[in-house]
Structure 1
Amino acid sequence: MTPRKVAAFAIGPISSVLLGLITLPIITWFFSQEDVGRMAMLQVTIGFSTLLFSLGLDQAYVREFHEVYNKPALLKRAMLPGLSILFVTLLVLLSFGGMLAGWLFERGEWHLSLLIAAVLLAAFISRFLSLVLRMNEQGLAFSMSQLLFKLVLLAIIGGYVLLGADTSLTYLMVANTAAFVFVCMVFAFNTRTEWIAGITATIDRQHLKQMLRFGLPLILGGVAYWGLTAIDKVLLRSLASFEELAIYSVAVSFAGAATILQSVFSTVWAPTVYKWASNGEGLDNVHKVSRYMLCLVVMMFCAAGLLSWIVNLFLPASYVEVQWVLVACLGAPLLYTLSETTVVGIGISRRSSFAMLAALIAFAVNLVGNWLMIPLYGAAGAAVSTCISFWIFFILRTEFSIYLWKPIPRLLLYGYSAAVVIGASVFTLYGSNIQSLMLLFWFFLLVASLVSFNKDLRKIKVLLKN
């Protein structure tokens, strides 16, 4: 993939995150905390339903894409089974009236259930159609489709504000549903040649069975990672309140700015590291990149710890806790990105079961941690539990990679990562009481990292110039 194509794919995630930082504060000013929390549950449900009902065939589609001649038939084989099961499941749930909305929102209204069903269908279809653009390396179309969701949502919310519309849950759901359906229609337009040809294609049952044998085992690992990233929101809903869930989801959204680093890095890292490994250059380069990434991760934690108070300028007074919760919420995207630099041994050895085991153990830790901490600390407890779980996830991926491949120096990796996790946890739980001490902690940690990574920062500067 050329740098131009990488940039085209990166435009979508980067722009989407930046637009999200504009859209979210607007929503918090005009809709209740409870309804903001309910939208967080909708996002969790979208992720789980897409993962579960895809039957792993989305991954099988990617795996088989370059090995089959009839691409439209492959799309039909991958998409139709899960779409059929999802459609029937939603029909059954809708037959019970507002039960689906009752489960998610504690508002058993049939029209809300209907809107939820429309969102789940649109998100599922968009998932598979986005793969068509991705595999055909249509990066700009892929990115624009991602960007359009936030643009449409922002336009509708802005229209509500200008027209003085009702700021109820129904109106917020209508805005989200319209955005999802619109993006699905854009995906359908951009991939019309592929899916129209696939309508009349016959399904090769033997090949479908082969794809299912590949895809179904991946669901377990996917569910484990989904649980690692979503169990905090699920338990906040059941053990705390929608208000606490709203605070947490807003903090996660602000911390989502760190996913820019994750998205861009993940796009270029995998093909690069496997190329190094094939040329016998893997270990030294992996060590260098892991140091660069550790440097960036530590500095981003320190910057967030020193400057998190800025978010209060954009949010209502009821979201004051976000400034404390935000720092621990950085743990998920930043520690995951750091682990991508050290986990390469699992991929090179083709022992993906170890990656799944790491996700399962971290998920179990997060489940127990949230169960214990949410009743005591609410959103702050969820953030700290998830941050610690991702640190354990990073440690496990690193150790499994070393076991399967080659050892790497990890004193600095574990030392600095432990320091930021401990600092973030204390800051989130007790920062409002010891704010001055925490500011000193982040300042001295930043100075220490600048000294430790002085040479690495110079190399990063040269790389960016080049």
Structure 2
Amino acid sequence: MGALSQSVYYAIGIIMMKGVSLLMIPYLTRTLTVAEFGALESLVLLADIGTILFSFGLVDAMYRYVGTAEGKHKQQLISNCFSLSCLLALFGAVAIALSLNSLVAILPARFEPYQLVLLAIPILLDGLISIPLTLMRMQSMAKKFCQLNVAKALIQALLTFVLMEQGYGIDAVLIAACLSSIFLALALVRFQWQQMERFGHFADSAMLLRFGLPVLVGSVSVYMITGLDRWLLAEFVGVEQLAVYAIAVKFALLLPLILQPYALWWFPNRIPTLQKPDGEKKCAEMAILGVNFCIIVAQCMALTVPSFLSLILPAEYHNAGLITVALLMVNTIKNAGDYLNLGCYCGESSQTQMWIHVFCAALAVAGYFYWVPSYGLWATVSVLAGVYLIRLMLIYLASQSIKPLQYAHRQWLITLAISITAWSLHQFVSPSLPVFATFLLGGVIGIASIALFAGLGILPILEPIKQRIASRRKSQPTSIQ
């Protein structure tokens, strides 16, 4: 299956998965109170940190070692990763059981112990699920990957709706997430077993953990940047304001999710591509293409999402629109750092990236504690923007020092200039328009700018058409005059 076909399947899967999830937001915001929705978000934050801790960076270690291994050694590495993941899940279950009462006490809203148990099951299963799903991506099994994830999303959404209608409240969301994760884990068991030599292989554990530990520390540091903000908002401004901010975060996260079809194909293939002839040039081109995609999608979302939120959400959440635009800028900077970061994955260790993330996390924590109690939501956004800009510069310098690549920076600068111009035009015209007209205007400007990017060759969507026309011309016999 070619890269385009894989990306199409990934796109379908992500649109279905996240589309179903986002379609549930208007329903949830009208079914739950603002305080309940904010409380639910605090559980999501707890799930995020748990998933990071118990995954231990094994997926990144798979990118590094399984992607370049062959034959029996490859099967042993896969077995080792999965066996470690099972061991971490067991350790996590014991740790959660021992600390359950303490977790209940420290959360910003009141929860029952059984609710945390329901939350813990998907967290512990996530590592077992991510190993086979990563293997599917590495083996270009995009169709199967898509089918399984879409099935999980639909099951989760259906269960949530049914249980909500039965009056289960927050429990409906927790039960649905738990049961859908169990379904996906069971559906992947056979495939995972076929990929391994035998369960319980631990011979390469030191190598895998040595690579995964800095990734884990880096991921926890990133969580301190993108998770601690919401904990502090819940503490200092209340779960109601956290609910508004959470809506903005969820819609701003559409940006990396829309880019995921490309990322899901490209990230596992970066190292193998680099080792091919002319690989450095190809990697540089793909990285800049990812940055351009990011800027263009962010621009289109900034033109439409604020007015869309005003149309679909209750009035209590309308302030989320402007916050979403600011967070789109933050996510653009963050994703640019991810795409321009090939060098940090080329060595035997990921410590350089780890120390960058630790430093940025320290800056973020200091900024949050200093400004959030006084300035609330906008202090959070400002700290995020500043920290991710510093991260981008440090990541780029570190990556280039390890593996210098010739990036075409002129391309993303042109893309950024056009995007800012388009957004400024929309802001100039839209204040005099009704909300629905503002939404339509944003869509028209977005489509026009995409056409411009395609015409300039920044978006290579016209390349297949040009190549087909050129091949037809070559295949036509030349007439003899």
Could you state the TM-score of these two structures normalised by the residue count of structure 2? 0.76
For 1:81, the equivalent position in structure 2 comes to 87
Q: Is the 8 A contact 2:291 2:335 kept in 1?
A: no
1:218 equivalent to 2:221? Answer no
Q: Is the 8 A contact 2:29 2:313 kept in 1?
A: yes
1:38 equivalent to 2:35? Answer no
Report the Cα offset of residue 148 of structure 1: 3.2
For 1:176, the equivalent position in structure 2 comes to 174
| Count of aligned pairs | 443
1:339 equivalent to 2:337? Answer yes
For 1:254, the equivalent position in structure 2 comes to 251
Report the Cα offset of residue 464 of structure 1: 6.1
AA in 2 matched with 1:25:
P
1:230 equivalent to 2:220? Answer no
Report the Cα offset of residue 314 of structure 1: 0.6
Q: Is the 8 A contact 1:370 1:381 kept in 2?
A: yes
For 1:359, the equivalent position in structure 2 comes to 357
1:116 is aligned, of 114, 119, 141, to 119
Q: Is the 8 A contact 1:134 1:142 kept in 2?
A: yes
CA distance in 2, matches of 1:138, 1:333: 28
For 2:98, the equivalent position in structure 1 comes to 92
Q: Is the 8 A contact 2:50 2:123 kept in 1?
A: yes
Report the Cα offset of residue 452 of structure 1: 10
Structure 1 gap segments, 5+ residues each: none
CA distance in 2, matches of 1:299, 1:420: 7
Report the Cα offset of residue 27 of structure 1: 0.8
CA distance in 2, matches of 1:136, 1:288: 23
**Deviations 1:117-151 (Å, cap 9, x if unpaired)?**
33433434433453454455543333233223432
CA distance in 2, matches of 1:299, 1:318: 29
CA distance in 2, matches of 1:298, 1:196: 40
Larger displacement relative to structure 2 (150-159 or 292-301)? 292-301
CA distance in 2, matches of 1:214, 1:342: 20
Report the Cα offset of residue 257 of structure 1: 2.0
Report the Cα offset of residue 7 of structure 1: 3.6
For 1:380, the equivalent position in structure 2 comes to 378
1:389 is aligned, of 387, 390, 395, to 387
C-alpha RMSD of the superposition: 4.1
Report the Cα offset of residue 225 of structure 1: 2.5
Report the Cα offset of residue 394 of structure 1: 2.0
Partner-residue secondary structure (3-state), 1:330? helix
Give runs of aligned pairs for residues 131-146 of structure 1, distance below 5 A. Answer: 131=134, 133-135=136-138, 137-146=140-149
Partner-residue secondary structure (3-state), 2:242? helix
Report the Cα offset of residue 318 of structure 1: 0.6
1:320 is aligned, of 318, 321, 326, to 318
Partner-residue secondary structure (3-state), 1:92? helix
For 2:51, the equivalent position in structure 1 comes to 50
For 2:159, the equivalent position in structure 1 comes to 156
1:130 is aligned, of 128, 133, 154, to 133
* Shift in CA distance, 380/160, structure 1 to aligned 2, threshold 3 Å: farther
Larger displacement relative to structure 2 (66-75 or 209-218)? 66-75
CA distance in 2, matches of 1:194, 1:281: 31
Q: Identity across aligned pairs (percent)?
A: 18
Report the Cα offset of residue 415 of structure 1: 9.5
AA in 2 matched with 1:45:
L
Q: Is the 8 A contact 1:354 1:400 kept in 2?
A: yes
Q: Is the 8 A contact 2:334 2:388 kept in 1?
A: yes
CA distance in 1, matches of 2:415, 2:358: 25
AA in 1 matched with 2:233:
L
Give runs of aligned pairs for residues 13-24 of structure 1, distance below 5 A. Answer: 13-24=14-25
